[in-house]
Amino acid sequence: MAETKKIQPDLSFIRGLMEAGGDTVNKCYQCATCTVVCPLSTEERAFPRKEMLWAQWGLASKIAGDADVWLCHQCGDCSAYCPRDAKPGDVLGAIRLNAIKYYAEPKALADMLSNKAGVLGTVIAAFVIWYIVAFLWSLHTGEGFPFPEGTVAYHKILTFVPIDIVVLPIVGLVLWASYKGITSFWSDIAKASGVVSYTGTAPKPAIGPLFKKYVIPAVQEILEHKRFEECGETKERAKGHKLLLWSFIMLFIVTGVVFIINDVIFVPFLHKHFTPMPLWNPIKIFANIAAVMLIVGIWMIFQMRKQKTAEGVLKSSEQDWILIWLIFAVGITGVLAELLRLMNIAGLAYPVYILHLATVVTLFLAVPYSKFAHLLYRTTAYVYQRYEDDMKAGKAGFGMEKEVLPVGPPSDEAESAEDEEKKEETKE
């Protein structure tokens, strides 16, 4: 008599999927049109048909271990050609939003930063906290509060010392949460891949080969946005995304350089501030170019998403709009803070600068807890795709490439064969 297996759907997963915008999943009748027309789906890694089936059945554990969910870039081609209007791209987008919450630690922050009220509340709270810190710092420096006397200079209200006191713990939390999420995700997709060691756990590559063979090529591909450019319905999105990505990289470089010059060299050893920099300073020029790229890039993404949502190609979730407007707020407040400082309008310059700090902190805090986490999990999926392909082809070179299906300890036959091999090696 054939064995039967009872499938127990995860009802909480199904509810979360529906709430996140995947309510069209039940329209799917498994025709596979989506997989056929998807420009990113391959014979070796076919999607999104199987993900639609697993979602319908509520198989949360299967989807959690599926890297292909993150290889989907919501091109919209599958939704455009779906004969049942099941919108597979939107369903996979909803699955990703659920996955972000699933891997988030602590989950309360993911809940808070996944809705407008929570994000707005975080920005307001950060704004108030920055002002409290600025007031306390003014007691130490003797500068006027809330508007220091003289020409507008933001280091008069907040130097790097109070900023670091506030920001560094947040940096630590974000790094810890990102590490936890990435390692948990890697563990899940490794277990689901079928390429495991005889201990039932996934082989762990050494850090050096992992970066050289897999991380660096994956990052290069992301920087070039090759897969975004392969999309059909939303191909133009690649330009805005690329501008935004490179603007973040450039602003990160500026932040690092200014931190070293001002906080490590000028203030401790020269006892003066490197900032504010004149407009002709190369670092300032570089930063201003990055700021313009950020605003233009996010505006292009906003226009594209607005148009494609109206056309029915994409369904934009609340988290999509939250991230867009938060990034836009970071860019606009940053530019306004610079312009108001140059015009020496203290009554507006200092509040706008504090608001800019509040939006920056909120955006950074959102990295592992909002749609911004695509940066983490999609990159991990890119890396694992290359690693798994090499594992299956026996090219990973870590000495643990043994395919064991199903996952678990080897069979008696496999153990006997292994014992025989050892005996032969001993004889030799």
Question: pLDDT tens digit string along 38-62?
Answer: 999 998 889 999 999 999 999 888 8
Q: Which two tokens stand for residue 200?
A: 């039932």
Q: Which two tokens stand for residue 114?
A: 């996944």
> Which single residue is written with the structure tokens 């233009």?
296
The rounded distance, in Å, linking the Cα atoms of 42 and 35 is: 8
The mean pLDDT of 27-45, rounded to a whole number, is: 93
Q: How many CA atoms lie within 13 A of 101 on its CB side?
A: 20
Per the CB < 8 A criterion, the answer to whether 228 and 397 are in contact is no
Residues shown for the chain? 428
> Which single residue is written with the structure tokens 């070796």?
44
- Ranges of H-type helices in 104-159: 107-112, 116-141
Which pTM value belongs to this model? Answer: 0.87
Q: Which two tokens stand for residue 352?
A: 């706008």
Closest to 307 in 3D by CA, of 248, 371, 373, 240:
240
Between 426 and 178, the more confident residue is: 178
Give DSSP secondary structure letters for 271-329: -S---SPPTTSHHHHHHHHHHHHHHHHHHHHHHHHHHHHHHTS----HHHHHHHHHHHH
Specify the range with the lowest mean pLDDT, choosing from 130-144, 164-178, 231-245, 339-353: 231-245
Q: Which two tokens stand for residue 187?
A: 């563990």
Q: Which two tokens stand for residue 181?
A: 């999420």
Q: How confident is the model at residue 425 (pLDDT cuts 50, 70, 90)?
A: low
Closest to 38 in 3D by CA, of 72, 65, 4:
72
Closest to 167 in 3D by CA, of 361, 355, 369, 370:
361
User: pLDDT tens-digit profile of 194-204?
Assistant: 665 434 445 56
Q: What is the dihedral of CA 62, 85, 370, 214, to 10 degrees?
A: 60
The mean pLDDT of 401-408, rounded to a whole number, is: 42
3-class SS of residue 7: coil
Closest to 351 in 3D by CA, of 124, 35, 18:
124
Closest to 356 in 3D by CA, of 339, 376, 368:
339
pLDDT of residue 112 exceeding 90: yes
Q: Which two tokens stand for residue 113?
A: 């930063």
Residue 149: burial class (beta carbons within 10 Å; 0-12, 13-18, 19+): exposed
Q: Which two tokens stand for residue 194?
A: 């079928």
Element (H, E) at 353: helix 346-365
Q: Which two tokens stand for residue 208?
A: 């050096």
The mean pLDDT of 207-223, rounded to a whole number, is: 89
The mean pLDDT of 217-222, rounded to a whole number, is: 94
Q: Which two tokens stand for residue 18?
A: 């529906």
The rounded distance, in Å, linking the Cα atoms of 403 and 409 is: 11
Closest to 14 in 3D by CA, of 2, 22, 6:
22
Per the CB < 8 A criterion, the answer to whether 222 and 235 are in contact is no
- pLDDT score recorded for residue 232: 86
Closest to 363 in 3D by CA, of 179, 145, 152, 123:
123
